[in-house]
């Protein structure tokens, strides 16, 4: 791997940038690997990277149906935070957040992790109590959280509607200062490049069409580019977990829904932090390029179409304007939709499947991006040693049958209630 | 946005309806706990044609069975389920 | 001269002069001008700076595809950045300002970045600033300020926006020649036709052409056609862009009723979003001309050939005195004639094709120097624009002085909506263009969107498309025939692919994406580094991600990628088109849902009655409910405590109208309720009620309330305010889906019946006073009474822990009963109380509440409700409740009471000692209403087994804590003695 550095960039500039090598190779699949990771999104690539880096397993292939980072890794609103309420999720996301903090250096690739702060706004006394509860729960687990007064919120985000008779008047907020945003594509590319440098084969345009299973044990995968043997296979295809697991005869507590998001045209800096709300399901940030990034509720019915309903975007626009009135004159430039694995408690599924040697990492609902490094590293741990890492252990698939679900919102098993 | 042909009301916008669940995810009341848990937490989650239960919540309130494609969003059939709109009690 | 208004001609209204400013300088234009044409008429052609290198930017196009000419327009709340000058019709007083430059457009410090361009290739940021996040934060601060285009709006938008739904048989998108023909044909059949056009005029390409249609000039034919269509009832929208083609033939259309920055007529909307459901959609969306790849092809003065024709023909502006035309097809020859006929000089036509012998070429050769197999190598000049064109033809290097370079590299059919609708694209290798292929919804494409480029054919095809769209709905065919087209040079334009740069040019100087400063070198670099999927290319270089969404740039970038790959373009693929086709304001998306209308507000029947007492209000979901009725000098806490004490010692009354209420009737009503409620119902005697709770399918407690047998086969079920809608849905699901065999009907009476609860030791006396005839029901019994002539259902139920009654009356009668309660109650020393007092009372009594202890994660065991569970377990959730982790009590968060001498912060963590890890949390904190001390409810790990333990309620975010003792969750009258008279 040719290391990136400022000096290197200057030199390359003088020579017309002709010598930059491929960020990752384009290898032909070998007939077998120790471990095959299905899915070349952030989670799959991170898994492969940590398998090689942490566990010294170089015989790893990542199989990607299309192009890496083309699924939900490239279809989210890039928010990174760990300020969840349930302790299991706090541990998982905080573990991840710590890895985010070292990612650019570790990967030698600028993922533009911007700790600009993630603020939940409170609009009533009961909102503020809930935010305090969340903040207290975080602080009691050593995770940063600060309550903000109305005045502090107004100072931090001057464009907010602070009028007391607003439909959702701002009473205060809860900020996680270490939260923020990252450049989503760079995460996939950075992990791909670093994994490739450690010998991982990243194989694009290679769709898994079946599993070789004998005696309840996985022996490899069938793909559009031939059969590939493997001792262990990890599924990292959130959005399509049900489909891929279905190839192995598994049925999962997952339904595929759709989440839309959009960006405005780019403008000079307007919003310097991530804005979320305790009462309205709308989140607002501004990309480094200047686009206002907006997201909201999912579409609430099963679909793999990646085409949403227009009213959802209209709702998000209206909620965003309610919080930041000056957004009204900005224009939606680009919208997109991702297929989300909606698990039946809203939390991810990481770990064993009933088939020996086959492991699952999915069910991320609409919150998977922020977990990318942690998810990859924990899943690598499981794939390498066959045992769950203690942070990942609560997220085992059998928790549904056991009754040990992890329900952040308390919304229950119906995806559309979440 | 889908347009769903409610047998009682005619073609209406999706905004009037709510998706309830896949038909095979309806959990009968008399299932054994073991079967119920299996039933509740194992989904086909089909990519393609699916039978689903929807409710015309902001319309007549009827429960409708839709045969719908989860990729193209084509709707091949809309059928009534159980009680009709007239005795919906609302 | 760098461009000027011609003395005559064009479709502008020269009798209407409009004043406007650009960067503070005053100018004049005419009605019908765009800002771009008016600026050109005034000799202004430097309009802005590019995104990355701050290169000078002029006007490339004459329509929505414009990547370069972006300005800030309007002031105050009507300020809109990034507005395309080519898509902004002039109005009097228009204020525009160039953007992304500092301190001024001519002297832009940022332009220094251009000099360092070689150090800022595609993907630069991924390879630089590789430090810790706190270091990145510093770099980012400056990078963000350099990025972005216009300045952000700062003020709230004063203008209203509108939404409108419409239905039609045939929706025609685009009112160019094919669209007009389609609308004409469809409208003769009686079909309901709607025609939408993004321009302020109908006509599309006809507005710049000189052909004759049905024997008249285009503008006369357009006017006639408009009249005809209007007479046939066709709904015509102009300034209306179809931006999204969604499922099931729903098309969203953004209509501008006024221009950006303009003030609307009082209270009139600025823009309207249409949701049109069409049986058939004809996409006559035209095509977008492509630039050519050569060095410095982004300079001001390089303009698309058809745009030049538009400025000359439609706007009466000659954008240059001396023009060079570079083309790969015949259509651009028309531009040469138009320029020359308008008095401009044509220095040369540079045609990339071999010599041809068609009339248009012959005539051009007679008038202008024409060079075949010619390619432009570079455009020389400065910030002021092009001064010279260097080209190559037949091995010779040519040089032409000029101030306008009209280019055309062929056409990209506008297939965006077709693709949004799920349609496939077909590839034409000759013209190197994708056009609409197989449709998935009820759409068809026509005209240049379908890849046609002969006007006569376009019109005939449009007519046929309109006719066949209507034919699917109407049995009659179209009346009449398509318009006759008379053109001087009929026939196709014989376009050839012209996407590849000439050999030997420096790819670093050839721009692909003019707004985002993506060059061929960037495309090459991305490819070299392995970003080879078209999506990787786009994301790595930002190609096509600018505000023009790649309308003019995508194909050139794609061609370069394909060339690098050594594969044909269709194999390399195309990025997916998603809504919107052109950017739409968030304001119009939101429509009416602005300000207070962003979410509904529900007011209970007694809202006005309460308002007269000026309570503190509390939002509960969408409901507004009184939180307390403070008296002079009281704050919320003091008022609530006084109210609660009054309830404990005398009497209080509270509005409980928002509770979920369902009447269940029929022979199987009890059986139905036993499937919904986890408690027994069948054994209830008539006139009796009891507490109940309901489970979700996964065994968690969903809601709670009371169930009353108010007749032999008639029950009333109450549930929480917040969960009422969900409960209505759930009841209907159980009745109609799970238990359709049961003979029972459910009526949701939540908003039919108002509820007033009266509570306190004198509540019985109040009931006796108000309803002397009533045999006052004992606790959990029901009765009917006439109060003030109003039929009242009296339920003796208590939430506060005191002897209490709930009065249910029809909504219109609520105010009468409330007034009588207040009057009689005051005589008994009582007062009205709000939600805050209710909360204090219920905490002390240990009642759980939805959203607090019932948080969607707690089981009946966790909440101590299991003893009243129906042992037969016929209810929803019974099966999942058998799961092992829910059966073993260990490790669960369980309901406990907590008491302390200090206030217990609500939401705080239960820890052994700060800063230990949390073992639970305070769900609700209150006070002892009578006596001293503080009480709370909480959920605690293994809580049931920990009574007596000393813990700390710790709130690090509020820097508060309290030592607490774990006790049973009931602080007041555990025996229920106060319910007895």
Cα separation, C375 vs C326, in Å, equals: 8
Q: Give C531's contacts in chain A (Cβ within 8 Å).
A: 23, 189
Instruction: Please name which of A294, A79, B56 lies closest in space to residue C729, comparing C-alpha atoms.
Output: B56
Question: C51 vs A266: CB contact, 8 Å cut-off?
Answer: yes
To test the contact with chain C by mutation, choose from A331, A346, A402 the residue with the greatest count of C C-beta atoms within 10 A, namely: A331
Q: What is the mean pLDDT of residues C61-79?
A: 97
Distance from CA of B9 to the nearest CA of C (A): 16
Q: Which residues contact C834 (CB under 8 A, 6 or more apart)?
A: C615, C616, C618, C625, C626, C627, C628, C629, C639, C640, C643, C654
Residue C289, both tokens: 């001309």
3-state DSSP: chain A helix, strand, coil percent, rounded to 5? 35, 25, 40
Instruction: Please name which of C419, B52, C413 lies closest in space to residue A415, comparing C-alpha atoms.
Output: B52
Cα separation, B87 vs C740, in Å, equals: 12
In chain A, CATH 3.30.9.10 covers: 118-180+256-340
pLDDT > 90? residue C473: no
Which of A 303-342 lie inside 8 A of C, CB atoms? Answer: 305, 307, 309-310, 313-315, 317-322, 325-337
Chain C contact for B3 (CB, 8 A cutoff): yes
Selecting from A101, A114, A401 the residue whose C-beta is nearest the C-beta of C883 gives A401
- Whether C624 and C601 have beta carbons less than 8 Å apart is answered as yes
Q: Give C597's contacts in chain A (Cβ within 8 Å).
A: 167
Question: B27 vs C882: CB contact, 8 Å cut-off?
Answer: no
Tell me the average pLDDT of chain C. 95
Instruction: Please name which of B1, B3, B5 lies closest in space to residue B62, comparing C-alpha atoms.
Output: B5
Q: Classify domain A25-82+85-108+184-254+345-414 at the CATH class level.
A: alpha beta
pLDDT > 50? residue B83: no
Residue C131, both tokens: 């430090």
What pLDDT is stored for residue C118 in this prediction? 74
Question: A328 vs C587: CB contact, 8 Å cut-off?
Answer: yes
Instruction: Please name which of C79, C26, C34, C24 lies closest in space to residue C61, comparing C-alpha atoms.
Output: C34
What pLDDT is stored for residue C889 in this prediction? 80
Cα separation, C407 vs C401, in Å, equals: 15
Selecting from B37, B40, B43 the residue whose C-beta is nearest the C-beta of A255 gives B43
pLDDT > 70? residue B85: no
* pLDDT (tens digit per residue) in C102-142: 888 887 877 777 767 777 888 899 999 999 999 999 999 99
Say how many C-beta atoms besides its own lie within 10 A of residue C513's C-beta.
29
Say how many C-beta atoms besides its own lie within 10 A of residue A386's C-beta.
12
What pLDDT is stored for residue C54 in this prediction? 87
- Whether A224 and A325 have beta carbons less than 8 Å apart is answered as no
pLDDT > 60? residue C466: yes
What pLDDT is stored for residue B82 in this prediction? 63
Percentage of chain A beyond pLDDT 90 is 93
In chain A, CATH 3.50.50.60 covers: 25-82+85-108+184-254+345-414
Cα separation, B72 vs C440, in Å, equals: 9
Which parts of chain A register pLDDT below 70? none
**Nearest 5°: CA angle at A330, between A326 and A331?**
155
Q: How confident is the model at residue C1 (pLDDT cuts 50, 70, 90)?
A: very low
Q: What CA–CA distances, in Å, run from A402 to A117, A399, C266?
A: 37, 5, 63
User: Torsion angle of alpha carbons C925, C931, C932, C938, nearest 10°?
Assistant: -20
- The superfamily (CATH) of domain A118-180+256-340 is D-Amino Acid Oxidase, subunit A, domain 2 (3.30.9.10)
Which residue from C minimizes the CA distance to B71? Answer: C422
- Whether A210 and A64 have beta carbons less than 8 Å apart is answered as no
Cα separation, C148 vs C106, in Å, equals: 19
Distance from CA of C314 to the nearest CA of A (A): 28
Q: What is the mean pLDDT of residues B13-33?
A: 94
pLDDT > 70? residue C456: yes
Say how many C-beta atoms besides its own lie within 10 A of residue C603's C-beta.
15
Secondary structure of residue C768 in the 3-state scheme: helix
Residue C261, both tokens: 């920055």
Q: Give the pairing type, strands C443-445 and C161-173.
A: unpaired
Say how many C-beta atoms besides its own lie within 10 A of residue C172's C-beta.
36
Tally the C-alpha atoms within 13 A of residue C464's C-alpha that lie toward its C-beta. 10
Which residue from A minimizes the CA distance to B70? Answer: A303
Alpha-carbon Rg of chain A, whole angstroms? 21
Cα separation, C57 vs C75, in Å, equals: 23
Q: Give A132's contacts in chain C (Cβ within 8 Å).
A: 905-908, 955, 957-958
Secondary structure of residue C383 in the 3-state scheme: coil
CB pairs under 8 A between B and C: 81
Cα Dmax for chain C = 114
Q: What is the mean pLDDT of residues C901-914?
A: 97
Residue C815, both tokens: 């105010």
The per-residue DSSP string of C337-373 comes to HHHHHTT-EEEEEEESSPP---HHHHHHHHHS-EESS
Chain C contact for A270 (CB, 8 A cutoff): yes
Instruction: Please name which of C443, C445, C449, C446 lies closest in space to residue C279, comparing C-alpha atoms.
Output: C443
Cα separation, C265 vs C454, in Å, equals: 42
Cα separation, A149 vs A174, in Å, equals: 9
Match 């709006």 to its residue by tokens: C153
Residue C380, both tokens: 């020389």
Alpha-carbon Rg of chain B, whole angstroms? 14
* pLDDT (tens digit per residue) in C637-677: 999 999 999 999 999 999 999 999 999 999 999 999 999 99
* pLDDT (tens digit per residue) in A145-173: 999 999 999 999 999 999 998 989 999 99
Which of B 17-46 lie inside 8 A of A, CB atoms? Answer: 18-19, 21-22, 37-38, 40-45
- Whether C297 and C379 have beta carbons less than 8 Å apart is answered as yes
* pLDDT (tens digit per residue) in C854-885: 999 999 999 999 999 999 999 999 999 999 99
Secondary structure of residue C576 in the 3-state scheme: coil
What pLDDT is stored for residue A18 in this prediction? 84
Q: Which residues contact C409 (CB under 8 A, 6 or more apart)?
A: C289, C290, C291, C292, C293, C328, C498, C499, C556
Which residue from A minimizes the CA distance to B50? Answer: A302
Which of A 105-144 lie inside 8 A of C, CB atoms? Answer: 105, 108-110, 112-116, 123-126, 129-130, 132-133, 135-137, 139-141
Residue A30, both tokens: 């070998």
C957 DSSP assignment: G
Residue A130, both tokens: 């809930």
Q: ipTM score of the complex?
A: 0.97
Question: C130 vs A105: CB contact, 8 Å cut-off?
Answer: yes
Total length of chain A:
418
């Amino acid at each position: 791997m040719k290391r990136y550095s400022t000096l290197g960039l200057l030199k390359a500039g003088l020579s017309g940038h002709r010598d930059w090598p491929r960020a990752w190779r384009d290898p032909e699949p070998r007939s077998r690997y120790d471990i095959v990771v299905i899915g070349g999104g952030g989670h799959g690539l991170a898994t492969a990277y940590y398998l090689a880096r942490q566990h010294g397993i170089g015989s790893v292939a990542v199989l990607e149906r299309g192009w890496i980072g083309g699924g939900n890794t490239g279809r989210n609103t890039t928010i990174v935070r760990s300020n969840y309420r349930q302790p299991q999720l706090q541990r998982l996301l905080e573990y991840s957040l710590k890895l985010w903090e070292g990612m650019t250096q570790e990967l030698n690739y600028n993922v533009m992790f911007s700790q600009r702060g993630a603020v939940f706004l409170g609009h009533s006394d009961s909102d503020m109590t809930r935010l305090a509860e969340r903040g207290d729960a975080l602080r009691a687990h050593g995770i940063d959280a600060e309550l903000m007064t109305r005045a502090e919120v107004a100072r931090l985000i001057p464009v907010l509607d602070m009028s007391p008779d607003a439909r959702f008047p701002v009473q205060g907020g809860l900020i996680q200062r270490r939260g923020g945003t990252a450049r989503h594509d760079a995460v996939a590319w950075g992990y791909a490049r670093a994994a490739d440098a450690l010998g991982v084969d990243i194989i694009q345009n290679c769709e898994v069409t079946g599993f070789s299973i004998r005696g309840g044990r996985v022996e490899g995968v069938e793909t559009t580019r031939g059969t590939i043997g493997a001792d262990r296979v990890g599924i990292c295809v959130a959005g399509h977990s049900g489909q891929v697991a279905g190839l192995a005869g598994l049925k999962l507590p997952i339904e595929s829904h759709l989440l839309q998001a959009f960006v405005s045209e780019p403008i000079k800096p307007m919003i310097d932090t991530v804005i979320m709300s305790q009462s309205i399901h709308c989140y607002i940030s501004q990309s480094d390029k200047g686009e206002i990034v907006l997201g909201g509720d999912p579409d609430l019915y099963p679909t793999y179409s990646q085409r949403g309903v227009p009213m959802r975007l209209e709702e998000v626009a209206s909620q965003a304007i309610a919080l930041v009135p000056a957004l009204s004159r900005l224009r939606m430039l680009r919208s997109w939709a991702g297929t989300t694995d909606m698990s039946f408690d809203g939390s991810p599924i990481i770990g064993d499947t009933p088939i020996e040697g086959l492991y699952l990492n999915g069910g991320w609902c609409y919150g998977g991006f922020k977990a990318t490094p942690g998810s990859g590293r924990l899943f690598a741990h499981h794939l390498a040693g066959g045992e769950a890492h203690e942070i990942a252990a609560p997220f085992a698939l059998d928790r549904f049958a056991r009754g040990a679900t992890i329900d952040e919102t308390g919304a229950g098993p119906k995806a559309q209630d979440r | 946005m889908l347009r769903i042909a409610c047998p009682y009301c005619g073609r209406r916008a999706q905004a009037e309806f709510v998706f309830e669940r896949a038909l095979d995810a309806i959990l009968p009341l008399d299932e054994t706990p073991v079967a119920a848990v299996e039933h509740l937490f194992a989904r086909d989650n089909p990519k393609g044609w699916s039978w689903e239960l929807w409710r015309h919540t902001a319309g007549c309130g009827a429960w409708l069975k839709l045969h719908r494609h989860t990729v193209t969003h084509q709707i091949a059939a809309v059928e009534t389920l159980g009680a009709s709109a007239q005795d919906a009690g609302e | 001269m760098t461009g000027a208004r011609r003395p005559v001609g064009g479709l502008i209204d020269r009798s209407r002069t409009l004043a406007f400013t650009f960067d503070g300088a005053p100018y004049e234009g005419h009605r019908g001008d765009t800002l771009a044409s008016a600026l050109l008429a005034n000799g202004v052609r430097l309009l802005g700076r590019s995104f990355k290198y701050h290169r000078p930017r002029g006007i490339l196009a004459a329509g929505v595809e414009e990547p370069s000419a972006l300005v800030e327009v309007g002031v105050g709340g009507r300020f809109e950045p990034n507005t395309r000058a080519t898509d902004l019709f002039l109005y009097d007083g228009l204020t525009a300002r160039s953007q992304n430059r500092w301190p001024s457009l001519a002297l832009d410090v940022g332009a220094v970045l251009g000099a360092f361009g070689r150090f800022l290739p595609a993907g630069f940021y991924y390879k630089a600033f590789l430090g810790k996040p706190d270091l990145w934060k510093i770099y980012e601060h400056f990078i963000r300020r350099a990025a972005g285009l216009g300045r952000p709006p700062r003020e709230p938008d004063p203008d209203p926006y509108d939404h409108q739904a419409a239905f039609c048989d045939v929706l025609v998108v685009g009112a160019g020649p094919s669209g007009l023909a389609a609308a004409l044909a469809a409208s003769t059949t009686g079909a309901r036709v709607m025609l939408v056009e993004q321009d302020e005029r109908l006509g599309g390409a006809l507005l710049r052409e000189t052909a004759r249609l049905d024997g008249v000039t285009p503008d006369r034919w357009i006017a006639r056609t408009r009249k005809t269509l209007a007479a046939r009832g066709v709904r015509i929208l102009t300034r209306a862009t179809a931006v999204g083609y969604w499922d099931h033939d729903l098309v969203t259309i953004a209509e501008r009723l006024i221009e950006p920055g303009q003030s609307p007529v009082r209270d009139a909307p600025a823009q309207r979003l249409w949701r049109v459901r069409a049986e058939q959609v004809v996409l006559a969306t035209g095509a977008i001309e492509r630039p050519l790849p050569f060095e410095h092809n982004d300079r001001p003065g390089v303009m698309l050939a058809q745009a030049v024709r538009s400025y000359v023909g439609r706007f009466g502006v000659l954008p240059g005195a001396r023009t060079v035309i570079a083309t790969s097809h015949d259509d651009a020859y028309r531009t040469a004639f138009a320029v020359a006929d308008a008095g401009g000089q044509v220095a040369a036509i540079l045609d990339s094709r071999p010599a041809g012998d068609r009339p248009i070429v012959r005539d051009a050769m007679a008038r202008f120097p024409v060079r075949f197999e010619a390619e432009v190598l570079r455009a020389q000049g400065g910030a002021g624009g092009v001064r010279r064109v260097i080209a190559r033809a037949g091995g010779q290097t040519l040089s032409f002085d000029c101030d306008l370079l009209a280019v055309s590299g062929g056409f990209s059919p506008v297939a965006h909506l077709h693709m949004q609708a799920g349609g496939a694209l077909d590839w034409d290798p000759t013209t190197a263009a994708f056009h609409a292929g197989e449709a998935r919804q009820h759409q068809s494409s026509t005209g240049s969107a379908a890849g046609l480029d002969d006007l006569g054919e376009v019109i005939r095809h449009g007519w046929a498309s309109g006719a066949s769209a209507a034919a699917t709905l109407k049995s009659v065919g179209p009346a009449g025939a398509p318009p006759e087209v008379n053109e001087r040079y009929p026939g196709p334009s014989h376009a050839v692919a012209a996407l590849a740069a000439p050999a030997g040019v420096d790819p670093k100087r050839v721009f692909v994406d003019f707004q985002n400063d993506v060059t061929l070198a960037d495309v090459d670099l991305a490819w070299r580094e392995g970003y080879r999927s078209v999506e990787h290319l786009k994301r790595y270089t930002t190609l096509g991600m600018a505000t023009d969404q790649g309308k003019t740039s995508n194909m050139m970038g794609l061609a370069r990628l394909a060339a690098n790959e050594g594969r044909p373009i269709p194999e390399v693929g195309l990025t997916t088109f998603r809504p919107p086709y052109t950017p739409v304001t968030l304001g119009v998306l939101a429509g009416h849902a602005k300000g207070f209308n962003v979410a509904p507000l529900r007011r209970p029947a007694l809202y006005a009655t309460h308002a007269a007492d000026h309570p503190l209000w509390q939002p509960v979901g969408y409901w507004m409910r009184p939180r307390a009725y403070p008296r002079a000098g009281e704050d919320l806490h003091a008022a609530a405590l006084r109210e609660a004490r009054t309830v404990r010692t005398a009497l209080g009354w509270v509005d409980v109208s928002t509770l979920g209420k369902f009447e269940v009737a029929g022979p199987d009503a009890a059986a139905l309720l036993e499937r919904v409620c986890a408690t027994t119902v069948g054994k209830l005697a008539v006139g009796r009620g009891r507490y109940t709770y309901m489970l979700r399918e996964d065994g968690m407690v969903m809601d709670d309330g009371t169930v009353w047998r108010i007749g032999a086969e008639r029950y009333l079920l109450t549930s929480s305010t917040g969960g009422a809608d969900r409960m209505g849905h759930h009841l209907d699901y159980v009745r109609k889906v799970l238990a359709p065999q049961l003979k029972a009907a459910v009526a949701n009476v939540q908003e039919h019946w108002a509820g007033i609860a009266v509570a306190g030791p004198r509540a019985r006396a109040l009931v006796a006073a108000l309803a002397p005839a009533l045999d006052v029901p004992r606790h959990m019994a029901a009765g009917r009474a006439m109060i003030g002539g109003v039929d009242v259902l009296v339920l003796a139920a208590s939430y506060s822990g005191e002897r209490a009654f709930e009065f249910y009356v029809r909504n219109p009668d609520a105010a009468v009963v409330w007034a009588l309660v207040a009057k009689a109650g005051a005589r008994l020393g009582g007062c009205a109380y709000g939600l805050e007092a209710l909360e204090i009372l219920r905490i002390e009594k240990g009642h759980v509440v939805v959203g607090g202890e019932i948080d969607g994660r707690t089981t009946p065991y966790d909440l101590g409700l299991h003893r009243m569970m129906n042992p037969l377990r016929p209810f929803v959730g019974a099966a999942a409740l058998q799961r092992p982790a829910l059966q073993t009590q260990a490790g669960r968060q369980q309901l406990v009471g907590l008491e302390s001498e200090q206030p217990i912060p609500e939401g705080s963590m239960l820890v052994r000692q700060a800063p230990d890890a949390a073992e639970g949390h305070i769900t609700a904190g209150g006070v002892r209403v009578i006596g001293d001390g503080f009480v709370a409810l909480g959920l605690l790990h293994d809580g049931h087994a920990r009574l007596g333990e000393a813990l700390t309620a710790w709130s690090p975010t509020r820097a508060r804590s309290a030592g607490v003792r774990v006790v049973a969750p009931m602080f007041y009258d555990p025996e229920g003695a106060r319910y007895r008279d």
